[in-house]
Structure 1
Amino acid sequence: MANIKSAAKRAQIAERNRLRNKAYRSAVRTLIKNYLNAISEYSADPTPEKLAAVHQRLNLAFSKIDKAVKRGVLHRNTGARRKARLTRILNKTLQPAA
């Protein structure tokens, strides 16, 4: 435990921020996982309803990634890379098999 009052407060703030960042990271991972599950369901049985669900999950994941970047939980380039990977997966799924 810190002996100096300001150090104790900084430790308290750091713990609060760590928990907040952890919640954002967890939410981003969960939304990405939901999106990937929707992609696999769509790949197994392509229907317009499942495609709409895929796009909805993609929008939710993009929104949460952008919010995490805005709040400093994720670096700007990390957010852009994750969004690019999700888009690439969707485009690969939507291409007709040649």
Structure 2
Amino acid sequence: MANNKSAKKRIEINKRNYLKNRFYKNSLKTLTKNFFQYLNRYEISRTDENLKELENIFHSIHCLIDKGTSKNIFHKNTAARKKAKLHKYFNKQTF
């Protein structure tokens, strides 16, 4: 248990940051799962509608990763690695 005021404040700040970080990381996991589902759907039937859905979710993931990187939730190398992985799958299926 914290004994002084600054230690108590750090506990509160850590709790707040934990919740914020968890939101970004869970959102990224969910969007990534959705991306691969849309990718499989596009692989089965290559329609313009499926491609637009895939591009929208791809853009959403990129925005979320960039926003998380700017807020120091993800390290820049981690963000680059995640984006490169998604680019690889996206380009492999769409071209």
Q: Same fold (TM over 0.5)?
A: yes
Partner of 2:68 in structure 1? 68
In the alignment, the residues of structure 2 paired with residue 6 and residue 94 of structure 1 have an alpha-carbon distance, to the nearest angstrom, of: 53
* Count of matched residue positions in the alignment of Structure 1 and Structure 2: 95
1:13 corresponds to which residue? 13
Deviations 1:21-76 (A, max 9, x none): 01111111111111111101000111111011110110000000100000000000
Q: CA deviation at 1:94?
A: 2.3
Match of 2:39 in 1: 39
- Aligned AA for 1:26? N
Give the deviation of 1:5 after TM superposition. Answer: 1.2
TM-score (norm. length: structure 1): 0.93
Q: Which runs of 5+ in 2 are unaligned?
A: none
Q: Distance in 2 between matches of 1:90 and 1:69?
A: 21
User: Where does structure 1 lack aligned partners over 5 or more consecutive residues?
Assistant: none
**In the alignment, what sits opposite 1:83?**
83
- Once the 2 structures are TM-superposed, how far is the Cα of residue 11 of structure 1 from its aligned partner? 0.8
Q: CA RMSD in A?
A: 0.8
* TM-score, length-scaled by structure 2: 0.95
Q: CA deviation at 1:8?
A: 0.8
* Separation of aligned partners in 2, 1:48 and 1:66: 27
